[in-house]
Structure 1
Amino acid sequence: MRTFDFIIVGSGSAGSVVAERLSASGRHSVLVLEAGGSDRRFFVQMPLGYGKTFYDKSVNWMYRAEPDPGLGGNADYWPRGRVLGGSSSINAMVYVRGAREDFDEWRDRGNPGWGHDDVLPIFRELEDHDGPVKSLGRGGPLHVSDCSHLFHPLANQILKAAQEAGLPYNPDFNGETQEGAGPFQLTTKGGRRMSAARAFLRPAMKRANVTVLTGAMVERVTFDGNRASGVTFIRNGRAETVKAGREVILCGGSVNSPQLLELSGIGDAARLQELGIPIVHNNAQVGENLQDHLGINYTYKASVASLNQVLRPWWGKLRVGIEYLLLRTGPLSISMNQGGGFFRTDPSRPRPNMQLYFQAFSTVRPKTGERPILTPDPWPGFSIGLSNCRPTSVGSIHIRSGNPLDAPMIVPNAYSTEHDVAEMLDAVKFLRKIADTPTLSKLIVEELLPGPDCSSDDALIDDFRKRSGTVYHPVSTCRMGPDPAKAVVNPRLRVHGVEGLRVIDCSIFPNIISGNTNAAAMMVGAKGASLVLEDIG
């Protein structure tokens, strides 16, 4: 039986960073187990290729949530990365750290060392920004690009309209304030996706003390008494057990980390007993406290050309394909979100509570079984999207059975509070305010979704319930906190009630942050690894 100092389950945004940090000294042997395969795939590396990976089971868990009354009974689709780099290999690459207040709330909930001033140096150490803003770090392993020179002219018109609607221009959502509208910074470099695997795991894999096994489906954590001793996994049809000399570290994200804890006997005792799983430690918080951002698009037919005319016809595909293959530039080299912003639905709010996304194309007629980024509508069109920053609705993720191959039960409980419904109603009205500005109104032929007939409050609410969905930022299912009755891990990310086991990923967030979660997940990976190294001396 093989033994490694550290066993890391999951090679995603956090896991890749943990592997790089724990192996850097050369003193510790590190095993990374990834259920998926290699990230060396064309549509993973090409930034706009995530339209192809959205429904690709070879790199994507392709989860489906339970039918949700808050979403009009819809069973929302939840893509999650099943590949080296995890979801950072299939996401939209928008780099937003989160607001200062988010991390100060983490600290104030009894988690010393997790305030904004504590984590800011970690963000900056990871970053390597090539643009003019001063807030981002330079020289780190994670390249963050300024791609504003590649934006479609229509995206810049939407940005201008947002300013006419009252939002200040903000060139840097990672600076002093998030409020305003401006270009997004993206995790790309040289026209290729800068995933966590590319930035952290691939360099670590060159070290003799790092072993990475793909196609390794972990079944459970093993225990010697109260201490995690290793894991069992299936690879190539064979079961294998490996031992951890120091620690087992779960980096599976907000879906797979609570799933693996429950499969291993850590969770609500009544739930696990009903499924025939031996109890290692009773903690009813495992899989609870799920939070996620919900988003919706308003879509318009335009009187001027959009990316639809570039990406839909075969000759357009040929042109941008050649441009990308030869020069690594053009629309295929960046995200579909070519700008956005943050705004307050009520001026009395102390800070922004909504995020905007500007997309210079439209997909009213989606192609079955494919996210139609590369095959948009045949007419000129564009979308303005938004998502809530700090929803109060709370859901859960739990196993259905003791079989690790059974997808867990995801219950988002979307729009289950009056607060979330009321602020989304105000938010979608603001989208129409942007559309009614002098700049955009003269470019709009008609509103396609939801359409002008959707005008009353009840109709708007019914529409966003039916058309909203996750924007792929689930957090908090293994929440961090000092009280074992209210949390899964302590502030040093050790699982309450057992030894030798930590969770280091976005599932430990005490509460959801304002903005995209990938940057914060990598920060958690770096800080978590530093805690591990401190604790072993």
Structure 2
Amino acid sequence: RSWGTSGPVHVSFGGQAGWYTPFNKAWPKAFEVLNQPSIGDPLSGESSGPFQNPGTIHGQTRQRSHAGVAYYNDEVAKRPNLRVVTEVMVEKVLFEKGDDSSITATGVLATTADGIKRTIPAAREVILAAGALNTPKILELSGIGDARLLQPLGIDVLVNNPNVGENFQDHGFVAFSWEVAGPQSSSDCVREPDVRDALMQLYQNGGAGPLGVQSLASSFLPVPDVGELDALLHRYLDDDEKSYNKQFPAKQRQYELLRELLLKPGEPSSQTTFAPFQISPQRGPSLKKIFGMQEPGEYVSIATALNYPFSRGSVHIQSADPQQKPGLDLGLLSHPLDLELHARQVLWAEKIAQTGPFAVLLKKDGRRLHLPTSTSTSTSTSTPIDLETAKKLTTERILPHYHASGTCAMMPRELGGVVDDRLTVYGTTNVRVVDASVFPLIPRGNIQTDVYAVAEGAADIIAQQ
């Protein structure tokens, strides 16, 4: 069964169903017209077609449910052996060398908000949960990483492992936005102070109104043309020079697994998501600009993401200064196959917007924010975009999905791994990693529940020792 009843993190659809927009109701109808009905339970891992997204929302209070309240509750906070310290940055893990070339963590060096350095001793082990960007940073600053990177920075190499910080993966997404037809409205209306105040008043009255509802809807879909997919896979993967990397031998095996998944009948290769607001990467690189609802008028968006990307990036320190952020190479679309697949999903998003139940809610001759101004004056099916245009738009508009994963992968060290099957960092006796960086391959869809699962499993492993 996919739905639990006793876990600490609550999952629900939020408030009353009556607050769903006409677009949420039209979403599954459009897919039925396109012969892609909902099949199976989307939470089971075995489904396809459209569904209304649940969220980590408490079903009664309509408040966000998250680790900060689900696991660190009042009872846990009273434990005598637990202390939470905030506004402190860990600079590095401190080690002592053993007789067998392994190293043992003795504590961490940290800096407080007022600049005071403190050494925090470790009685048993050190557990890193800084995420796929900062866990590799801490390891490298501690002397665990590629010697070719660390030595020029003046960092003593304790464990030479070039795999640290490699294998970065993210789904990446491309969003298209259409102007809505009256009398429909979208979440862009919250720009108006009177509307925003009224909605907040509703929400503060027992979580009522649209602010207490999970408003996103999604769909999982396979690649539409299996024959075309097979040809693309042959074109881009059946070349040893492209699929094999001596510095990261697991890459070839990863590609083999991804190929099997994509060719599996019914396996969803992509996720398409409806969002009741405008998304505008053309406004600038910051989230404030992308999601700032700065375009006049009201819009809804459809975003596409690949469940199984082939592209890989990396994250590494740029200096020995722990205050400096690491350098991040997202690597989005760095593998040409991702562009081919994502562009075809972008065409599918256009098709949804041009399909009866959904199309009637969009403004006739309204703006499409994803097209240049000179050509963005029609949502009509008579002006579809072609594959080359889709590739261009995908390249220009792809954004990180913030599903950062894979940079301290759980794999054999000789294949590109950083941690073993007990989450212990290779070369150490007592340092574990418990976050999304341990994923060898990024899970499909949102990674939130998978991160919780890693943490739950890690707790069991640690308790056994």
TM-score scaled to structure 1, two decimals? 0.71
Q: Tell me, in whole angstroms, the C-alpha distance in 2 between the residues paired with 1:421 and 1:309.
A: 30
Please report how far the alpha carbon of residue 443 of structure 1 lies from its aligned counterpart in structure 2 after TM superposition.
2.3
Equivalent residue, structure 2, for 1:25: none
Please report how far the alpha carbon of residue 382 of structure 1 lies from its aligned counterpart in structure 2 after TM superposition.
1.0
1:254–1:488 CA distance, 2 compared to 1 (3 A): same
Equivalent residue, structure 1, for 2:255: none
Matches within 5 A, 1:18-417: 135-147=2-14, 149=17, 150-169=19-38, 172-175=41-44, 177-189=46-58, 190-203=61-74, 204-225=76-97, 226-235=103-112, 236-304=114-182, 305-308=184-187, 310-335=189-214, 337-348=215-226, 349-350=263-264, 351-364=267-280, 370=288, 375=293, 377-417=295-335
1:516–1:347 CA distance, 2 compared to 1 (3 A): same
Q: Tell me, in whole angstroms, the C-alpha distance in 2 between the residues paired with 1:369 and 1:385.
A: 16
Equivalent residue, structure 2, for 1:434: 352
SS in structure 2 of the partner of residue 525 of structure 1: helix
The code of the aligned residue for 1:421 comes to: L
TM-score scaled to structure 2, two decimals? 0.81
Structure 1 residues 294-334: Cα deviation after superposition (integer angstroms, max 9, x where no partner): 10111111213122464232221111011112222322224
CA contact (8 A) 1:231 1:242 kept: yes
1:263–1:334 CA distance, 2 compared to 1 (3 A): farther
CA contact (8 A) 1:363 1:377 kept: no
Higher strand share: 1
Structure 1 residues 191-218: Cα deviation after superposition (integer angstroms, max 9, x where no partner): 2111211111234223222100001100
Mark the runs of 5 or more structure 1 residues left unpaired by the alignment.
1-133
Q: Tell me, in whole angstroms, the C-alpha distance in 1 between the residues paired with 2:287 and 2:216.
A: 24
The code of the aligned residue for 2:209 comes to: G
Equivalent residue, structure 2, for 1:481: 411
CA contact (8 A) 2:344 2:387 kept: no
CA contact (8 A) 1:178 1:341 kept: no
Please report how far the alpha carbon of residue 170 of structure 1 lies from its aligned counterpart in structure 2 after TM superposition.
5.1
Give the CA RMSD over aligned residues.
Answer: 2.2
Q: Tell me, in whole angstroms, the C-alpha distance in 1 between the residues paired with 2:122 and 2:95.
A: 10
Q: Tell me, in whole angstroms, the C-alpha distance in 1 between the residues paired with 2:125 and 2:188.
A: 53
SS in structure 1 of the partner of residue 105 of structure 2: strand
Identity of aligned residues (%): 30
CA contact (8 A) 2:409 2:440 kept: yes
The code of the aligned residue for 2:273 comes to: Y
Q: Tell me, in whole angstroms, the C-alpha distance in 2 between the residues paired with 1:308 and 1:352.
A: 29
Please report how far the alpha carbon of residue 163 of structure 1 lies from its aligned counterpart in structure 2 after TM superposition.
2.7
The code of the aligned residue for 2:83 comes to: T
Equivalent residue, structure 1, for 2:381: none
1:212–1:310 CA distance, 2 compared to 1 (3 A): same
CA contact (8 A) 1:484 1:496 kept: no
CA contact (8 A) 1:308 1:376 kept: no
1:180–1:384 CA distance, 2 compared to 1 (3 A): same
Equivalent residue, structure 2, for 1:53: none
CA contact (8 A) 1:482 1:490 kept: yes
Structure 1 residues 346-378: Cα deviation after superposition (integer angstroms, max 9, x where no partner): 353421111111112224596987257575654
Aligned residues: 401
CA contact (8 A) 1:268 1:286 kept: yes
Please report how far the alpha carbon of residue 272 of structure 1 lies from its aligned counterpart in structure 2 after TM superposition.
0.2
SS in structure 2 of the partner of residue 461 of structure 1: helix
Matches within 5 A, 1:423-462: 423-444=341-362, 445=364, 446=366, 448-451=368-371, 455-462=385-392
Structure 1 residues 118-137: Cα deviation after superposition (integer angstroms, max 9, x where no partner): xxxxxxxxxxxxxxxx5211
Please report how far the alpha carbon of residue 172 of structure 1 lies from its aligned counterpart in structure 2 after TM superposition.
3.5
1:344–1:449 CA distance, 2 compared to 1 (3 A): farther
Q: Tell me, in whole angstroms, the C-alpha distance in 2 between the residues paired with 1:369 and 1:300.
A: 19
Equivalent residue, structure 2, for 1:56: none
Greater gyration radius = 2
